[in-house]
Structure formats: structure tokens, C-alpha cells
Amino acid sequence: MSNEVTLVEVGARDGLQNEPELVSTQDKIALIKRMIAAGVRRLEVASFVHPGRVPQMADAEAVIAGLPDDKSVSYIGLCLNKRGVLRALESRSGGRRGVDEVGCVVVASDTFGQRNQGQTIAQGVSENAAMIRLAKAEGLIAQVTISAAFGCPFEGDVPVQRIVDVARTMAEAEPAEIALADTIGVGVPAQVTELVGRVREAVPASIRLRAHFHNTRNTGIANAWAAYQAGVRVLDASLGGLGGCPFAPNATGNIATEDLVFLLDRSGVATGIDLDAVIAVNHWFAGIMARPLPSMLGKAGGFVIAA
């Protein structure tokens, strides 16, 4: 298997969506540009959601309009419904670059799905399949995340077979990628190994698997390594470990980009990302947020071996 991993930087979307103080459009654009300069090549830059539900994302179109037209970079817009896909398509109109990918989300829990997106699992599967087909027909890359795949804040454990069944059904719409998300940070490595293995067996090899972990209970980095060992070669992370879901009680941040890059670098796994540059972005953005960011590497720095 390849010893290279693609990191999807989700700081500008998932990292900020739960922050009570609004971050300016220009600071979001600057964050994305600095992460690109550090070597990141896939970034979740905004979500096309109602501003009343997630005020931090009210400037989605303005952020996207200000991004550099770098052909080596892929921009992802999160979409929770068909209206979101139409906004993603609109971001590309009039000769504008816009987003390259639509990220759809199906929640693996009826209770959480109804609170988060107003949908049961069955409704979410049907809606997201239609969204994927629409996006693909209009020339966008379409991928889907199965949220709450490792546990639900309202229902508790989520059966593995349910996730396998959702993944198999979503695969029929032929997304480029299916992501398994530990939205509330309850997963452990053994669970990751089992779930990734079961889903990999259930969906065509042409569909990439991705993993998205939160560090709520300090297992996120271990889970990322377990996903890598199980064959996942695309991992999400957020600068500084920022993040959290507005609709999940006590949800805390994603695994930190710099912490994950350190783990992979020291394990001989290439990411193409400059760790020192990401740590520098951490320190800069801590000034924007007026507080230190949660990541370990932001505090400890990298590891320099004496000559």
C-alpha cells in the first residue's frame, strides 16, 4: 500500500463553525492561503448552510470568491441539502473558480439527523444520493461523509452494520469518496479498524475511503493511525485542533493538522506538508482568535534531532 496520505484541511469550515466570535472574511481567506503555502492541497473552505443556523458560515460565497485560482488545490464546499449544491454551482458561474468539490453529509442516527439536518437516515440517504448525482452531472466532484459513524450523542452506540449498509447504498450514487466521521469523538482504534475493514469490503475499490476524527476524548490521533493502518489514505484535520459541531452537545475540536503531520512524518508517511510552516500558521491564527489553539504541537513545537 502507498505510504503517502492526503490531508484535508477543514479548519476554515469545521474548525470555525462552532466559534461564537465571528472571524472576518479576510482572516478566513488568509488562513486558507497560509495553509496552501504550507503544502495543503485539499481544503474544506466553507459550508453552504443557512446563516441563521451557522452564523460563522454566512460569508461562504465571499470567502470562496477571494481564494486563489491555484490549479494544484481542490476547494470543498459542504452541502447539507440540494439548495447547498445549487449554491456550490453558483459559486462557479460567470467564469469564477468557485469550489471544486461538493461534500455531502448523511447522519447515521435518526435523532441526530433530525436535529442536524431535519432528516431521518433513510431521508438523508435518498437526498444525498440525489445531491451527488446533481453535482456530478454539473461537473463537480462529489463525495459524502457518514456522520456520527462511531457514536451518536443522543442514541449512543451506532451499529456497525448500519454504517456498512449506509455506505453500500451511498456507493450506488458513485461518489468519489466516502468518509467515516467520528463527529463526537467517541471512537477507539479497534472500532476504527473494524469499521474501515467492513466498509472497504462493502463498497467498490474505485471509491476512496476517508476518515474524520475529533479529539474529544483524546483518541483522535490514535484513531487516525488506526485508519491509516487499515488502508485509509485520506485524513481530515483542522489547524490547531479547532472545531466542534453546533448540534452535538459538548462537541470539541478535530484532530490538529500539525499533530497529525508530526505523527505521519515521524512514521515515514509523506504528506507534502511543511510542519514548521503549519506551526507558524497556528501561532499567527492564535493571535486572530486571541487565545492559544488546542493542539499539542502548537505548544511543544517539532522535534529537532541534534547533529
CA distance 142 to 76: 9
**Burial (0-12, 13-18, 19+ Cβ within 10 Å), 188:** middle
Active site residue 245: yes
The Cα–Cα gap between 163 and 159 comes to 7
Q: How many CB atoms are closer than 10 A to CB 95?
A: 6
Dist. CA 180–CA 131, nearest whole Å = 18
Residue 208 has, within 13 A of its CA and on its CB side, a CA count of 15
DSSP state of 305: P
Of residues 261, 223, 224, 258, the one with CA closest to residue 242:
258
**Number of other CB atoms surrounding residue 148 within 10 Å:** 27
Check 79, 104, 152, 245 and give the catalytic one. Answer: 245
Cross-strand partners of 78: 47, 103
DSSP string, 45-96: EEEE--TTT-GGGTTHHHHHHTS---TT-EEEEEESSHHHHHHHHHTTGGG-
What is the C-alpha to C-alpha distance for residues 275 and 43, in angstroms, rounded to an integer? 17
User: Considering Cα of 263, then 295, then 253, then 153, what sign does the dihedral take?
Assistant: positive
Distance CA 49, CA 87 (A): 9
Residues marked as catalytic? 245
